[in-house]
Structure 1
Amino acid sequence: MKVKGVVFDFNGTLFWDTHLQEDSWDRFLEKYGFTLNEEEKKKYIHGINAKDTFEYLFKRELNDAEVHRLTEEKEVIYRSMCLEHGMQLAPGAEQLIGFLAESGVALAIATASAKNNVDFFIQHFPLLNYFRPEHIIYNDGTMRGKPHPDLFNKAISAIGTKADETLIFEDSHAGLEAAIRSGAGEVIIVNSANAEYNGYSCRQITHFNQVDKTLFV
């Protein structure tokens, strides 16, 4: 299969921020008196739509205004931590993206992040050098979150490739389920946090220079 389109998840994939996400969530959870174990975090936080996460935490349905307020409260903590720790794209990511762009491969991002975080990432990373703004698909509240494939489906549609000729890079378990459900021709696991991926037959990488470039020629 020659890959004609590539869709990247962002957090934990293009930006290795899992430790910052963990720390910012822990601070938020502590404020409200919540305690989650690692399995709950994997199932209800990582890569998950914010509305689903907060409704699980507060055990009730939340309106859009409540979800927006809680999301921004948590993300203010997260963005502050990003600036404190410094920000750079994942190892080898910019080199691979540059190669793909020069090779004529259509590129998109599909992230569960909300718009304020996407704007923050665009401000601090050279994303617009490679990704058209309309190809950066984010959680705008109109789509089901991962593990549903909606974000990836929209990204694939935006770049105009067929699902079976598209490659998706993803790190979270919910995101992997979404990528597989999208019908993507190939899914590659970006193991940015030394995690376990039992049950997945997808190839794994720990550096973007490990990607087989013959997939694109």
Structure 2
Amino acid sequence: MERNELGVPANTAALLFDLDGVLTKTAVVHAKAWQQVFDEFLDGRGEPFDPVHDYEEYVDGKPRADGVRAFLEARGFHLDEEQVREIGDRKNDLVLRLIEQDGVRAYEGSRRYLEAAREAGLPCAVVSSNANCQAVLDAAGIADYFSVRVDGNTLKERHLKGKPAPDTFLAAAEELGVPADRAVVFEDALAGVEAGRAGHFGYVVGVDRTGEAEQLRRHGADVVVRDLAELVSRS
């Protein structure tokens, strides 16, 4: 398959990026917040939350409520919707506090890749289950690179299914006026690469920040990189 200067198929017409862990160094913030709220809930009643394995397996990339259900059901707990909402809200409050305290930084390789995409004239969308997506983009100083944003608020407004369903990525491609088979998905989450594969996108790039390259490949990534800058050097 012929690659362009961005290391993706030559016929690519749009780039669709996940946010946390792909563009910004906020995945670790989310993992830390999930660990705190889940361990508070479990309080010795089950195996504690693993901020690497459990984060990837149950919550990363998914809508907040889906992540709460997936993890706690795996530990044998079945909560009502009010309890799910309360845990999700608690986690969101913690994330916002941590971001306010520590700030937000974009990965330098991702920033360089976005600049290269702009120079190549390829439109970009950010696709995230994070309801605070715009605030994170603004804080990281990369909002201007994206002409389309599909986030946690969009999911609710349009009643879209979250990842691993492909709905959010498909919505972003549609807004950009590009067919799925000419769009590239960039994801660090197992649920995200599954969504890219399920949506029959032209190419799925797995971004391995935590040493889970093989899992990303098994779940649907065409290629796995540690940093987006690697794609430019490979092309």
Do both proteins adopt the same fold according to a TM-score greater than 0.5, normalized to the shorter chain? yes
Instruction: Tell me the equivalent position of 2:150.
Output: 137
Tell me if the contact between 2:14 and 2:176 (Cα under 8 Å) persists in the aligned partners: yes
Moved more, 80-89 or 140-149: 80-89
Offset of residue 84 of structure 1: 3.4
State which of 179, 184, 191 in structure 2 corresponds to 1:162.
179
Separation in 2, partners of 1:109, 1:12: 12
- Structure 2's unaligned 5+ residue stretches are 1-9
Output the CA distance in 2 between the equivalents of 1:100 and 1:204.
19
Mean Cα deviation higher: 202-211 or 151-160: 202-211
Contact kept in structure 2, 1:191 and 1:204, CA below 8 Å: yes
Structure possessing the higher relative contact order (Cα contacts under 8 Å, 6 or more residues apart): 1
Find the residue that maps to 1:143 and give its secondary structure: coil
Q: Check if 1:206 corresponds to 2:226.
A: yes
User: Which residue number corresponds to residue 45 of structure 1?
Assistant: 59
Distance in 1 (CA, whole Å) between partners of 2:16 and 2:221 is 19
Partners of 2:224 and 2:167 in 1: CA distance: 23
Q: Does the aligned pair in 1 maintain the 2:33–2:95 contact within 8 Å?
A: yes
Match of 2:94 in 1: 77
Q: Given that residues 91 and 207 in structure 1 are in contact (C-alpha distance below 8 angstroms), is that contact kept between their aligned partners in structure 2?
A: no
Aligned length: 209
> In structure 2, how many angstroms separate the alpha carbons of the residues matched to 1:158 and 1:72?
29
- Counterpart in the other structure of 2:36: 27
Percent identical residues: 20
Aligned twin of 1:15: 24
Stretches of structure 1 lacking an aligned partner (at least 5 in a row): none
| Structural RMSD (CA) | 2.4
* Structure-2 separation of matches of 1:71 and 1:148: 20
Structure 1-normalised TM-score?
Answer: 0.84
| Stretch moving more, 8-17 or 84-93 | 84-93
Query: 2:148 matched to 1:128?
Result: no
Counterpart position of 2:195: 178
Give the secondary structure class of the aligned counterpart of 2:129.
Answer: coil
